[in-house]
């Protein structure tokens, strides 16, 4: 009888895990670790796309019969589609530098950077994209906003985060062709 009591006492104190519990907890821990490292990247990407889609540009003055448009070299380098996209809308599109002496009358200008949202490792940077008339005292004819995800600071987990996180979302000048076309109507071809 003593052996039977001992066996039943041992059975009472043993803890049995349901099947798959260990695998499920490992998967849940992996998902939690992934979210800890990447939540702000996903959130800032969502906010960049949402702000870009919801932004409405301000058109002060419209011009017609525009034959040439200048795009600063910095914008063309950051946005690989800018020259080709605007090239379909305007007869002549040139990448211009600040020191160029001959420039088109109308140009795009990206100015006034400001961080509008911040999180652990990333922020959302807003800049204003303006259509400038160089012949009219560099007057801004219309303005809209561009957004992109930027790193706030480097941290020791940077390599791990770069491997796990999604690519940076950005709203670039080529996303604003319709706005620029509203401000500057292309010359009839």
Q: How confident is the model at residue 164 (pLDDT cuts 50, 70, 90)?
A: confident
Instruction: Give whole-number Cα distances, 157 to 23, 42, 103, 118, in Å.
Output: 26, 17, 45, 18
The three-point CA angle 141-147-151 to 5° equals 140
- The tens digit of pLDDT for each residue in 98-124 reads 888 889 999 999 999 999 988 887 889
Q: Residue 141 and residue 60: Cα distance in Å, rounded?
A: 5
Mean pLDDT of the chain: 85
Please report the sign of the dihedral spanned by the C-alpha atoms of residue 137, residue 140, residue 146, residue 150. Answer: positive
Compute the distance between CA of residue 20 and CA of residue 24 in angstroms, rounded to an integer: 6
Q: Which residue has the higher pLDDT, 142 or 158?
A: 142
Of the pLDDT bands very low, low, confident and very high (cuts 50, 70, 90), residue 162 is confident
Contact 95, 84 (CB under 8 A): no
* CA dist 37 → 1, 40, 162 (Å): 57, 8, 9
Of the ranges 25-39, 102-116, 149-163, which is most confident?
102-116
Average pLDDT over residues 39-44: 88
Name the residue ranges covered by the structural domains of the chain. 17-186
pLDDT at 1 over 70: no
What backbone torsions phi and psi does residue 49 show, to the nearest 5 degrees? -65, -40
What's the 3-state SS for the chain?
CHHHHHHHHHHHHCCCCCCCHHHHHHHHHHHHHHHHHHHHHHHHHHHHHHHHHHCCCEECCCEEEECEEEEEHHHHHHCCCHHHHHHHHCCEEEEECCCCCCCCCEEEEEEEEEEEEECCCEEEEEEEEEEEECCCCCEEEEEEEEEEEEECCCCCCHHHHHHHCCCCCECCHHHHHHHHHHHEEECCC
pLDDT at 127: 95
Q: Is the pLDDT of residue 167 over 90?
A: no
pTM of the predicted model as reported, rounded to 2 decimal places = 0.77
pLDDT attached to residue 22: 82
Specify the pLDDT at position 157: 66
Residue 11 has pLDDT above 70, yes or no: no
């Amino acid at each position: 009888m003593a052996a039977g009591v001992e066996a039943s006492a041992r059975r009472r104190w043993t803890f049995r895990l349901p099947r798959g519990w260990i695998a499920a907890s490992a998967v849940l821990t992996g998902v939690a670790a992934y979210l800890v490292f990447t939540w702000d990247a996903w959130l800032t990407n969502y906010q960049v796309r949402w702000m870009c889609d919801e932004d409405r540009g301000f058109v002060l003055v419209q011009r017609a019969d525009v034959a040439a448009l200048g795009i600063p070299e910095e914008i063309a380098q950051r946005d690989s589609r800018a020259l080709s996209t605007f090239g379909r809308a305007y007869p002549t599109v040139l990448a211009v530098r600040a020191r160029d002496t001959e420039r088109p009358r109308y140009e795009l200008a990206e100015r006034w950077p400001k961080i509008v949202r911040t999180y652990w490792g990333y922020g959302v940077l807003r800049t204003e994209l303006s259509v400038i008339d160089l012949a009219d005292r560099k007057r801004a004819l219309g303005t809209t906003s561009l957004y992109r995800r930027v790193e706030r600071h480097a941290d020791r987990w940077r390599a791990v985060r770069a491997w796990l996180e999604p690519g940076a979302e950005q709203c670039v000048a080529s996303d604003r062709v319709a706005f620029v076309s509203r401000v500057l109507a292309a010359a009839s071809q």
